[in-house]
Amino acid sequence: MMEFIHPAPEVEAGARAAFADLAREVEAFDPQLIVMFAPDHFNGFFYDLMPPFCLGVRACGAGDWDYWAEALPVPEALALDLVRHVQNEGVDLAYSYRMQADHGFTQPLALLTRDVTRYPVLPIFINGAAHPLPPVHRALALGASVGRFLAGRSERVLIIGSGGLSHDPPTPQMGHVGPEVEEFLIAGRNPAPEARARRQANVLAKGEALARGEAKGETLPLDAAWDEGLIEDFLAGRLGRFETMRDAEISARGGRGGHEIRAWIAAFAAMRTIGPYAATRHYYHPIDEWIAGMGMVSARGVGETA
């Protein structure tokens, strides 16, 4: 949405300035490896085979929203080592040699590194769109296992969790749409440019309607109070809340897109498992035009581990 609809100038300037600040922090940190937890929006993963979690051993961008459509720099041997480690710890992490990573991966990489291919990356998909969803406590378990894997390594590691916070885009759901849309949800990879343009135009129209206050009954309003509570929990390391968090709460407060907070949860679980961290809030603003409670938080390992 960021490149297609523009909120009030001061709102957009604040969000972009926060991204620029974080990009400078990333550049100064100069990671030797990025581990990224992110969702998909029915661009790379579909109901013909929907894993709860999947690591791209080889991956390329899905090209949605005009973002990256080429290969990502995945260190293949390291990716396989991570799969073995996580599976050995009892978390069933799927893996793909042909993963398509949509804007949930490629847009944050572009904004934070200024070049999607600048650093080696291990892209880990967490299903936050296709019901049934993985239980929230399993996202915690995934993140903790990844953290234990990273704790034994010497690289400077940047962990990214993207997605969320509260937002309710018009994501279709199985059982609530007609046969043509169901077929798309089952096997809609590599759509024709015209089909992708129509889908994206629908999302843009919803963002514009929400900003005008005309989407009531179709789209949940952004929930700043819920978002702020989540941010405070992440800052304070209160991850125990997510052991018992249920989908009903997320859907009621965060909307259809709020389930993407699983990526944040996994990222912070990995950080906490590596060791104590100090977290900083950089930005929060509910931006109707982007259908997103836009939040940015960073954390640094107290021992500079990650």
Query: Residue 3: CA atoms inside 13 Å, Cβ hemisphere, count?
Result: 9
Beta-strand (E) ranges in 62-154? 94-96, 99-101, 121-126
129 contacts 50 by C-beta, under 8 angstroms: no
Q: Respond yes or no: is residue 285 known to be catalytic.
A: no
- The Cα 236–Cα 218 span in angstroms is 34
* pTM over the 0.95 mark: no
User: Phi then psi for 127, rounded to 5 degrees?
Assistant: -65, 115
Quote the CA–CA distance of 165 and 35 in Å, as a whole number.
20
Q: Is the bond preceding residue 132 a cis peptide, omega within 30 degrees?
A: yes
Write down the catalytic residue from 6, 41, 103, 285. 103
pLDDT in tens, the chain (306 residues): 888 889 999 999 999 999 999 999 999 999 999 999 999 999 999 999 999 999 999 999 998 888 888 999 999 999 999 999 999 999 999 999 999 999 999 999 999 999 999 999 999 999 999 999 999 999 999 999 999 999 989 999 999 999 989 999 888 888 889 999 999 999 988 888 888 888 888 888 877 887 787 766 677 899 999 999 999 999 999 999 999 999 999 999 999 999 999 999 999 999 999 999 999 999 999 998 998 999 999 999 886 544
> Which one of 41, 137, 167, 176 is the catalytic residue?
167
CA atoms of 39 and 83, how far apart (whole Å): 18
| Dist CA 277 CA 281 (whole Å) | 13
* pLDDT for residue 216: 63
103 as an active site residue: the answer is: yes
